[in-house]
Structure 1
């Protein structure tokens, strides 16, 4: 079964990204197409890029980079759960992407975004050129969530509606297709 890593791109205390990611992760597990793992950038806690060598060389000197490399390398696909800050993506997400190079190549990525009225779509459009420069394949199918705070119940969990669930399923189905299609380029199989 292919491995899907759900990356939580917000590191801010009190972030809504955590309940959004929990909801999406549960939905991805129910989908059944992937072995699902969560990567929380707040827990990863990477310093600003501190490697002396270009990431494409994979000559990492720091243990945090070696660990991050192994984590990203193990994935066949990604979903990034990302907020929109000032019409853009988060600095921790850009930093985490910049640490690595080859580990991202030929892997599909779905984007679950959240924010105000735009649902994070401006951040999504901003991150796509970066993802493609790393040879990732960002899906057309994404899940923008407008005013995500309104979806929190009293327990602090996301109460998704049918449209969100259907969109998440559509994205996961497409992610699974692309994961299989790109596997030969990665030199792997997904069976």
Structure 2
């Protein structure tokens, strides 16, 4: 069974993302075709990228980096719960993505965005970053509006119609995560034989 991280992509005090990530987690864990874990980047206290060697070299020198790398490596796929700040993803999420490299490779990702325009522009930026990290992204995504899905722009009250796109995204993500897991296993076998 594949293991999927639901990554909370905001560290802002009073963030709305915590309620959104919990909603995703609660609906996802009703399924029996994958294991889900909520991963809060705030728990890793990642300073602005402070590794002296590029992540693609895999030479992590800081304890916080090694801890984050170990957590990222545990999963076959990811649901990124992302706010949209100034038409883009949060700096904290971008920083967390940039910390490691190989641990992301040949996996799959889906997205739940929230913001004034449903977080769609943040998700589009994330798709570009995922491509460079060699993460396959699924087409379906969830776009939550600060105007329609948050009471007074702060209390998360999602419309029930969002459950269908979330289910579609998770269906695709689990399928792609299984396929990418097979790819990683095949590559590991080939490396072992050579």
User: What are structure 2's unaligned runs of at least 5 residues?
Assistant: 187-194
In 2: Cα distance, 1:127 partner to 1:36 partner:
21
In 2: Cα distance, 1:130 partner to 1:171 partner:
19
Secondary structure (helix, strand or coil) at the match of 2:139 reads coil
Secondary structure (helix, strand or coil) at the match of 2:30 reads helix
Deviation readout 1:149-170 (Å, 9 max, x if unpaired): 74459xx5x4433311111111
- CA separation of 1:91 and 1:140: change in aligned 2, threshold 3 A: same
User: Cα offset for 1:184?
Assistant: 2.2
The residue that corresponds to 2:77 in the other structure is 77
**What is the CA RMSD across the aligned residues, in angstroms?**
1.7
The residue that corresponds to 2:124 in the other structure is 125
Contact 2:149–2:159 (Cα < 8 Å) also in 1: no
The residue that corresponds to 1:25 in the other structure is 25
In 1: Cα distance, 2:20 partner to 2:171 partner:
19
In 2: Cα distance, 1:33 partner to 1:17 partner:
25
User: Cα offset for 1:15?
Assistant: 0.6
Contact 1:16–1:149 (Cα < 8 Å) also in 2: no
Q: Which has the higher contact order (CA 8 A, sep 6+)?
A: 1
Q: Normalized against structure 2, the TM-score is what?
A: 0.89
The residue that corresponds to 1:186 in the other structure is 184
- CA separation of 1:47 and 1:148: change in aligned 2, threshold 3 A: farther
Quick check: 11-20 or 50-59, which moved more? 50-59
Q: Normalized against structure 1, the TM-score is what?
A: 0.90
Quick check: 34-43 or 9-18, which moved more? 34-43
5 Å-filtered alignment, 1:60-99, equals 60-99=60-99
Contact 2:149–2:157 (Cα < 8 Å) also in 1: no
State yes or no: 1:134 paired with 2:116.
no
Alignment: residue pair count: 184
The residue that corresponds to 1:15 in the other structure is 15
The residue that corresponds to 1:53 in the other structure is 53
Contact 1:5–1:36 (Cα < 8 Å) also in 2: yes
In 1: Cα distance, 2:151 partner to 2:40 partner:
20
Secondary structure (helix, strand or coil) at the match of 1:187 reads helix
User: Cα offset for 1:32?
Assistant: 2.4
Secondary structure (helix, strand or coil) at the match of 1:103 reads coil
User: What are structure 1's unaligned runs of at least 5 residues?
Assistant: none
